[in-house]
Copies of this chain bind each other. A is one copy, B any other.
């Protein structure tokens, strides 16, 4: 069940990578690279930093197959139809929520401190998008506006607090997951943003 959700998250992030690559006018290999980086960049950074080998997509090539299939399907789809705006936003929010909580659980299982658990989960959810933005030469979205990483931080913190208050792990998972998705979607629909910090020159 979680594995299936994980593959869906990878597919969704791959689609968002393909659309970003299309906006940057990359070639077809570039599209694949950005799709892969967006989809598995966060989990790869997590595995490298935690010293988990083999990296998840080397151990199980299903992930790469899903990325390949999603990328091809997306390129074909947008030839005939407009990009699926709302559906993609929804899917992206679910993908972020899922990756953030499952990433946090991996650090939790390694008995790391709460601060590292929050950080690992946030990184798993958000670092793929940062790499996508760096490679397409933009200031990462994560750093400059939307409620994105902060949604992950909020939801994972909630997930940890609820468990600390005695709630079962599974229920805390669902609530943290829903919290991240709600914060992310609310942020987009309500045009929320964190305050920016601006210094002169």
What is the count of identical protomers in the complex?
A: 3
Partner of A26, one of B24, B29, B136, B144: B144
In the complex, are the beta carbons of A27 and B135 less than 8 A apart? no
A198 at the interface (CB under 8 A from B): yes
A-B contact pairs, 22 of them (CB 8 A): A21-B143, A21-B197, A22-B198, A22-B199, A25-B196, A25-B198, A26-B139, A26-B143, A26-B196, A26-B197, A27-B193, A27-B197, A29-B142, A30-B143, A30-B144, A33-B143, A51-B53, A61-B115, A75-B197, A134-B135, A135-B139, A137-B139
Is A49's beta carbon under 8 Å from chain B?
Answer: yes
Judge whether A54 is part of the interface by a CB distance below 8 angstroms: yes
- Say whether B61 contacts A55, CB under 8 Å: no
Q: Which residues of A contact B (CB under 8 A)?
A: 18-19, 21-31, 33-34, 44, 48-51, 53-55, 58, 61, 64-65, 75, 78, 83, 112-113, 115-116, 119, 130, 134-140, 142-145, 149-150, 153, 193-201
| A83 CB → nearest B CB, Å | 7
For residue A143, which residues in chain B have a CB less than 8 angstroms away from its CB?
21, 24, 26-27, 29-30, 33-34, 135-136
The CA of A116 and the CA of B23, in the complex, are separated in Å by: 28
Q: Determine if A23 and B112 form an interchain contact, defined as CB atoms under 8 angstroms apart.
A: no
Chain B residues positioned under 8 Å from A197 (CB to CB): 18, 21-22, 25-28, 31, 75
Give the CA-CA distance A26 to B139 in the complex, in Å: 9
Contacts of A29 in B (CB 8 A): 142-143, 149-150, 153, 194
Cα of A130 to Cα of B64 in the assembled complex, Å? 20
Q: Which residues of B contact A153 (CB under 8 A)?
A: 29
